[in-house]
Amino acid sequence: MSFPELSFADVAQPAWNVAPRVRALVTTRDGGVSEPPFGRWRNGVDQPGGLNLGMKSGDDLAAVAANRARLLELTGVNEAAWLDQVHGAGIVRAEDAVARAQESGAPMQADASVTDRAGIACVVMVADCMPVLFCDEAGRAVGAAHAGWRGLAAGIVEQTARRVAGLAGVEVGALNAYLGPCIGPDSFEVGPDVRDAFIDGANGAERDATASTFVAHPRNEGKYLADLPALARLRLQRLGVTRIVGGDLCTVTQRERFYSYRRDRETGRMAALIWLDDQAQTLGD
């Protein structure tokens, strides 16, 4: 069976005002070769042609490799820093992750990567957790963080922002941040332990705002609905980052566009990529 090529119409992109050499996108479930249950969603049915990028998802590895090849061909990057994500706060240089994978055949264990080198993409994979992409306005450095609630509570967003700012030689507050597709506030059911972790980690001025991101579940007593993007914004604003876009795409409710582990359990993975391109053309040209 043949499938249409992956195109920029198949991905989501941040609407930010930064240097043209900064390229960024988040894949959807469209544009690949995977079969159900890793396929694309059409007319209420999981159909062949999904862009699953997760090697550990249970999908056919040849299909995942073909999907990754399609993605790299679309972006034009030389290398991508695929990671072994563990819901922690580890950060690596993207070029180090690429070198380690070439040497050992296995990805480095981390949940974020940063770089100031052109042609190497920082990558995080998601299927409900939130990807957070960073860059400075001039495009000196970029970074990508995998921010589920555990990583977010552990400081992955703040630490990645500081690393990108350091590479770019700018104040952290000068960065731009993009909150990619993730489980939305109407779908993210959590227990009191998650609420307590964030409230305990908030400073005095943030405690009320942090508490307000958790709403008592209307049907499950003792549970809450959590707003992951709002929690990330609070963490970013603590650093002085105000140029924040995104956070409005829900992986659970937008079944036709996104994979969701919380919704389907057996499912694929999307990828969020950010990289520097010295050709400085507009993405999609």
Over residues 260-281, mean pLDDT: 92
**Closest by Cα among 59, 77, 228 to 145:** 228
pLDDT digits (tens, 9 = 90+) for 132-148: 999 999 999 999 999 99
Domain harbouring 156, CATH code: 3.60.140.10
- Of the pLDDT bands very low, low, confident and very high (cuts 50, 70, 90), residue 78 is confident
pLDDT digits (tens, 9 = 90+) for 42-76: 999 999 999 999 999 999 999 999 999 999 999 99
In a domain, 114, yes or no: yes
Over residues 185-212, mean pLDDT: 95
Structural domains in the chain (count) = 1
Distance CA 231, CA 250 (A): 15
Distance CA 90, CA 85 (A): 9
Q: Is the pLDDT of residue 85 over 80?
A: yes
In a domain, 98, yes or no: yes
Beta strands 175-179 and 130-136: pairing type? antiparallel
Domain span including residue 136: 8-182+249-276
In a domain, 150, yes or no: yes
In a domain, 224, yes or no: no
- pLDDT at residue 204 in the model: 85
In a domain, 167, yes or no: yes
pLDDT digits (tens, 9 = 90+) for 11-46: 999 999 999 999 999 999 999 999 999 999 999 999
The most distant pair of C-alpha atoms in the chain lies apart, rounded to whole Å, by 58
In a domain, 217, yes or no: no
In a domain, 238, yes or no: no
Q: Is the pLDDT of residue 285 over 60?
A: no
In a domain, 221, yes or no: no
